[in-house]
Chain A
Amino acid sequence: MTDDAKTVLVVDDDPDAREYLTTVLEDNGFTATTANDGAEAIASLEEEIPDLVSLDISMPEKSGVAVYRKLKEDERFKDVPVIIITGISEEFERFISSRRQVPPPEGYISKPVDAEQFVRKVRELTG
């Protein structure tokens, strides 16, 4: 990994999904860190701000949505681009459109994730 490799924080409660995305990212020159749930995600962000966050919105107990809101409402984190990994994208879009103050995410991708599509989006958003 080169020092100026972009970092991506992968937030997902499913270990298989975490392994999938981190492997894909590392294979494509990114550095990946992981978080199992909302709390770990925030802790990780406070330690180091990544270049992008990949967030599974369908984690239990709506923790995915809670993390998203925290991200976008916190001065420190609100400019970090977020890709939402979603099982049901209409539900999230409805959530977003019903809360005007929270800006929409920079990208969406639905499960099952297509590796190439994911990498393309990450590259786009991290310049």
Chain B
Amino acid sequence: MNNDYHVYFDALPCYLTVQDRDFRIIEANERFRWDFGDIEGRFCYQVYKGRSERCEICPVARAFHDGQRHRSEEQVKSLDGRQISVLVEATPIRDDDGKITAVMEMSTDITELKHLERQLRRSQRRYHLLFDEVPCYISIQDRELNIVEANRAFHEDFGACLGRKCYEVYKHRSEPCVPCPVQETLEDCAPHTREEVVTSLDGRHQNVLVTAAPICDGQGRITGVMEMSANITQVRQLEDRLTSLGLLIGSVSHGLKGLLNGLAGGMYLVDSGFKKEDKARVERGWGTVQRNVSRIQSMVSDILYYAKDRVPAWEPLSAVEVAEDVCRLMETRATEQGVRLSTVLDATAGAFEGDAQAVRSLLVNLIENSIDACRLDGKKPEHGVTVRLQGLSDFVQFEIEDNGIGMDQETKEKAFTMFFSSKGMEGTGLGLFIADRITRAHGGRIELESHPGVGTRFIVHLPRKRPPPEESEDSHPSEMDAAHDR
């Protein structure tokens, strides 16, 4: 080799050797000698790999064999015992006749690279683990809002989504949401957070807290957005319950004050009646006291029922007896308010399984609601509430109809929710809510028909046979269990 080439040969920052057909090293550069020692007459496999015979797969051998360049990755050991990963390229050297007389082996130290490669793989594995196992939804959208990647939780709850638009998959929309945290991030390359409601495959609504984070390429251009959504449905539900509780307490204290005022009035009449020796006054006063105590009892039992969802105490009940009991109870209440209570009860309506107290409560609440509706309606000269009972094959059907103020669409929709109250000063607003709960605990349902200004009709279906335990909607852990520890 002439002098110039020798300078280059030695200066190259890789290992260079030339082997003859016997795999003996006939030339080696300085770098090689430095790391692997003397080569005089030694075989490459000895020097590189500390082997006593040829490697099974050898790029040098291949080069000798087919006259082509060959590459491979190898592990070699330096003189001082270091393991070095190298990328080997073997190139045949021909003589003037074109015969291959030797092979040049060039080996680049890729140890560092291999190390980085391993770290990268480990890092990727960890990333995938996180991505898939983290307990929130993660999806990656491209600039057109197509989902290009999604984690396990996302697939489980939203199904096959890759390639589809995000707003289709979890919002069931045909166009992008407005506003959209992902769009905002696409625009300004900054993270955005928003609370949203999404719908999973099974139709459930989930409250989620969404964070959209930008994914940028090397030049800082945004190529996509990672959307991470934490499921906060339970938190919201808890919040709702606490709010309900707060409202309940407020509403109760308001209604209660009205009743206590009535009680104060009754007591004043009794007291002053005794002082004046006015018997009629005492009697009036006592009647007021009794009436208000009974209303307070009603309110307290409503609240207690709300506080502790009771499993029905099942027993066979006669539908007509229950109806008659309740109407007798409500007769006085109705007359006080100038409302006529009439009944159309089928004496052959038969029996059904139920909790006597609960069913009575249910009917009382509906009748009370009707009486109040009449009281609030100033437009008709006469007001009446009619209670009907019919026996159907598998159900008993109670109907409570009034010609009171009636409900508009919005009121109808809210009727069985908490705090629906037309009662003003009285009532906790729980009456219809509880009536609905009791009905469902019995496996039945309530229907509501109403027209504003005309009146309202409640139709209650109670099955004759109690539902099997899984079906009835009673007893969830009660929200007010803690309140009992007062």
Q: Which residues of A contact B (CB under 8 A)?
A: 13-17, 19-21, 23-24, 27, 37, 39, 56, 58-61, 87-88, 110-115
> Can you name 18 A-B pairs with beta carbons within 8 Å?
A16-B261, A16-B262, A16-B265, A17-B261, A19-B269, A23-B269, A27-B272, A37-B378, A39-B378, A58-B424, A60-B424, A87-B425, A88-B254, A112-B261, A112-B263, A112-B264, A113-B264, A114-B264
Are the CB atoms of B261 and A61 closer together than 8 Å?
no
User: B116 within 8 Å of A by Cβ?
Assistant: no
Decide if B245 is an interface residue (CB 8 Å cutoff). Answer: no
Report the separation of the CA atoms of residues A110 and B268 in the bound assembly, to the nearest whole angstrom.
17
Q: Which residues of A have CB within 8 Å of B268?
A: 20, 23-24, 115
B258 located at the interface, meaning its Cβ lies under 8 Å from any Cβ of chain A in the complex? yes
Q: Which 3 A-B pairs have the closest CB atoms?
A: A20-B265, A60-B424, A16-B262
- Given A60-B423, A60-B424: A16 touches B288 (CB 8 Å cut-off): yes
15 more contacts with CB within 8 A, not counting A23-B281, A112-B257, are A13-B425, A17-B261, A20-B262, A20-B264, A23-B268, A24-B268, A58-B254, A60-B422, A60-B425, A61-B424, A87-B258, A87-B425, A111-B261, A113-B261, A115-B264
- Chain A residues contacting B378 (CB-CB under 8 Å) are 37, 39
Q: Which of the residues B260, B291, B292, B424 comes within 8 Å of A13, measured between beta carbons?
A: B424
Q: How far, in angstroms, from A60 to B378 measured CA to CA in the complex?
A: 13
Q: Return the CB mask of B163-192 against A: 1 if under 8 Å, else 0.
A: 000000000000000000000000000000
Central interface residue in A16, A23, A59, by most chain B CB within 10 Å: A16
**How large, as a class, is the contact surface on chain B?**
20 to 34
- Nearest B residue to A63, CB-CB: B424
Q: Are A20 and B261 in contact (CB under 8 A)?
A: yes
- A14 CB, min distance to chain B CBs, angstroms: 6
Enumerate chain A residues within 8 angstroms of B264, measured Cβ to Cβ.
Answer: 20, 112-115
B261 touches A58 (CB 8 A): no
Q: How many angstroms from the CA of A37 to the CA of B284 in the assembled complex?
A: 23
Assembled-state Cα–Cα distance A17/B336 (Å): 14
- Tell me which of A13, A19, A87, A110 contacts B265 (CB under 8 A): A19
| Distance to closest chain B CB from A62 (angstroms) | 9
Partner of B258, one of A24, A27, A58: A58
- Among B268, B292, B422, chain A packs the most CB atoms within 10 A around the CB of B268
Once bound together, how far apart are the Cα atoms of A60 and B426, in whole Å?
Answer: 9
- The residues of B that contact A20 with a CB separation of less than 8 Å are 261-262, 264-266, 268-269
**B425 engages A59 (CB within 8 Å):** yes
Interface string of B271-314 (1 = CB under 8 A from A): 01000000001001000100110000000000000000000000
Query: With an 8 A cutoff between CB atoms, is B242 at the interface?
Result: no
Residue among A27, A60, A112 making CB contact with B260, cutoff 8 Å: A112
Contact of B262 with A14 in the complex, beta carbons under 8 Å: yes
Please, which residue of chain B has its CB at the minimum distance from the CB of A85? B261
- A17 engages B265 (CB within 8 Å): yes
A58-B254, A58-B258, A87-B254 known; A19+B284 contact, CB < 8 A: yes
- Structural contact, A16 and B260, CB atoms closer than 8 A: no
* In the complex, residue of chain B having the shortest beta-carbon distance to the beta carbon of A23: B269
Residue on A nearest B264 in the bound complex, by CB: A112
B291 proximity list for chain A (CB < 8 A): 16
B392 at the interface (CB under 8 A from A): no
Interchain CA distance A61-B424 in the complex, whole Å: 7
Q: Closest CB of chain B to A64's CB: distance in Å?
A: 9
Q: Are A14 and B269 in contact (CB under 8 A)?
A: no
CB nearest neighbor in B for A60:
B424
B426 contacts which chain A residues (CB < 8 A)? Answer: 14
A56 to B426, CA, bound (A): 13
CB of B376 within 8 Å of the partner chain: yes
Q: Which residues of B contact A58 (CB under 8 A)?
A: 254, 258, 424-425
Q: Which residues of A contact B262 (CB under 8 A)?
A: 14, 16-17, 20
Complex CA–CA separation, A73 to B264 (angstroms): 33
- Least CB distance, B478 to chain A, in whole angstroms: 27
Which residues on B sit within 8 Å (CB–CB) of A19? Answer: 265, 269, 284, 288
**Given the contacts A60-B422, A61-B424, A111 and B266 also touching, CB distance less than 8 Å:** no
Residue of B nearest to A110 (CB): B257
The distance in angstroms between the C-alpha atoms of A111 and B424, with both chains bound, is 14
- Give the complex CA separation of A61 and B284 in angstroms: 29
Q: Which residues of A contact B254 (CB under 8 A)?
A: 58, 87-88
With a cutoff of 8 Å between Cβ atoms, the chain A residues found around residue B257 in the complex are 87, 110-112
